[in-house]
Amino acid sequence: MSELRDILEDTVTRLFGDLATRETLEAAENGDWPEALWTALTESGLTRPLVSESQGGAGAGWHDAFVIIKAAGRFAAPVPLPETILAGWLLDRSGMDIPDGPLTIACTDAAHTPTLSQRDGEWRISGDLPAVPWGADAGHVVSTAQHDGDSRLVLANTSDAACRPDRNTAREPRDRLSFASAPVTLLDRETAPKDGIALYGAMIRAAQMAGAVERTLAEAVQYANDRVQFGRPIAKFQAIQHQLATLAALSAQATLAAETAFRAADRRDPRFEIACAKVIAGEAAGAAAAIAHQVHGAIGFTYEHSLHFATRRLWSWRPEFGGESQWAEELGRTVAARGGDALWTDLTQRQSAGAAE
């Protein structure tokens, strides 16, 4: 790893280790905003790694941010850190100021896209954003909105919206924000990628899943070594060993798939690598949750044990920004359209195109 990533890894691991405690996680599930954690993240500069230095950011790349976002997944950090990083990047690319405080993003689909209108030269947004991560806690949201059949990225102030709180399976906030002709700022359509939220949203969830899968592995290995049954640690049973070996392999695979996507994002259009990462991390997520719970037995099914903080997030993050089948279908169509003979050359071409830059 590069020196910067080493430092980031140390910083973020220490910070989450200290502040993303069980108490914090439980309190967050009951609706408390973890202010101390967020403040520490902000003060360490971890909320704006991609923002240019002139804007008060670190001016780093996605590959560096990977370390932070994966760790957020590993520690089940109950804050919209990945969302803030992505929103900040989009705003920075548009040359816009980055608002203070937590930011979030909204992934809209055809059925749920708010519309834009202009009044007195100001752009305004109307409509619902469903299931916005930390919609109630974030000060601003970057979303897509429709105008005359055109899709635009906009920045809105969440205090202009009516908020109906909700939760995903992991009890992370997924709130509905309803706007009625609220003022917005449009992002630059030349510099901020149009598919930025759906695509890069999938990328950050892949990294978070890789982190959470790694957590399930660590917990399961620890438990298997500690837990004695039939007179010996269950780690001695071949069936347990084989399951954990499988989990370890999938964990390493998910991490590299996600990391590859983040690296590609620094270099070129990362759509192919992000699709691969979401598929691989999502498949690993399902298997990891099943194996880790099987190894843990009944204790892992209790709220008191910490395993579920990872596994419920894995289940929640799998479908967000598109599940495996959706991304696999896109990959499959792309590859089929090119034909089998192009498969390998296209694959090697992508890698060398990235490396050459």
| Contacting positions for its own copies (CB under 8 A) | 237-239, 242
Stretch of residues binding another protein (CB under 8 A), selected from 97-105, 141-149, 180-188, 258-266: 258-266
Q: Choose, by CB under 8 A, the member of 55, 157, 169, 185 that binds another protein.
A: 169
Does 330 sit near another protein (CB under 8 A)?
A: yes
**Residue 233 contact among its own copies, another protein, none, beta carbon within 5 to 8 Å by kind:** another protein
Please state the closest distance from residue 240 (CB atom) to its own copies, in A: 9
The structure tokens listed for 50 are 């991609």
Cα separation of 132 and 157, whole Å? Answer: 13
Q: Choose, by CB under 8 A, the member of 198, 237, 266, 269 that binds another protein.
A: 237
Q: Choose, by CB under 8 A, the member of 124, 176, 205, 313 that binds another protein.
A: 176
Please state the closest distance from residue 99 (CB atom) to another protein, in A: 27
Does 95 sit near another protein (CB under 8 A)?
A: no
Q: What is the DSSP letter of 99?
A: P
- Cβ closest to another protein, residue 120 vs residue 341: 341
For the segment 3-22, give every residue that binds another protein (CB under 8 A).
none
- Contacts (Cβ under 8 Å, ≥6 apart) of 74: 16, 211, 212, 214, 215
Which of 209, 144, 168 lies closest to 28 in space, CA to CA? 168
Does 113 sit near another protein (CB under 8 A)?
A: no
Please state the closest distance from residue 116 (CB atom) to another protein, in A: 25
- Cβ closest to another protein, residue 103 vs residue 289: 289
- Cβ closest to its own copies, residue 239 vs residue 256: 239
Please state the closest distance from residue 276 (CB atom) to another protein, in A: 4
Per-residue binding letters, 336-355, with another protein (x by CB under 8 A): xx-xxx-xxx-xx--xx-xx
Cα separation of 183 and 170, whole Å? Answer: 32
Distances in Å between the Cα of 89 and the Cα atoms of 60, 65, 95, 304 are 10, 11, 10, 37
Q: Choose, by CB under 8 A, the member of 89, 214, 270, 288 that binds another protein.
A: 214
Cα separation of 254 and 258, whole Å? Answer: 6
Q: Choose, by CB under 8 A, the member of 111, 204, 235, 313 that binds another protein.
A: 235
Helix axis angle for 271-296 and 238-265, nearest 10°, is 160
Hey, which residues does 162 pair with through a beta bridge? 178
Structural contact between residues 168 and 174, judged by C-beta atoms closer than 8 angstroms:
yes
- Cβ closest to another protein, residue 98 vs residue 235: 235
- Cβ closest to another protein, residue 94 vs residue 108: 108
Cα separation of 284 and 255, whole Å? Answer: 10
- Contacts (Cβ under 8 Å, ≥6 apart) of 239: none
Please state the closest distance from residue 230 (CB atom) to its own copies, in A: 12
Structural contact between residues 96 and 155, judged by C-beta atoms closer than 8 angstroms:
yes
The structure tokens listed for 14 are 């220490």
- Cβ closest to its own copies, residue 33 vs residue 237: 237
Structural contact between residues 216 and 314, judged by C-beta atoms closer than 8 angstroms:
yes
Please state the closest distance from residue 172 (CB atom) to another protein, in A: 10
Does 268 sit near another protein (CB under 8 A)?
A: no
- Cβ closest to another protein, residue 41 vs residue 170: 170
Taking the CA atoms of residue 112, residue 274, residue 70 and residue 58 in that order, the dihedral angle to the nearest 10 degrees is: -90
Please state the closest distance from residue 294 (CB atom) to its own copies, in A: 12
- Cβ closest to its own copies, residue 55 vs residue 294: 294
Long-range CB pairs of 347-350 (<8 Å, 24+ gap) are 350/264, 350/268, 350/272, 350/273
Does 240 sit near another protein (CB under 8 A)?
A: yes
**Residue 149 contact among another protein, its own copies, none, beta carbon within 5 to 8 Å by kind:** none
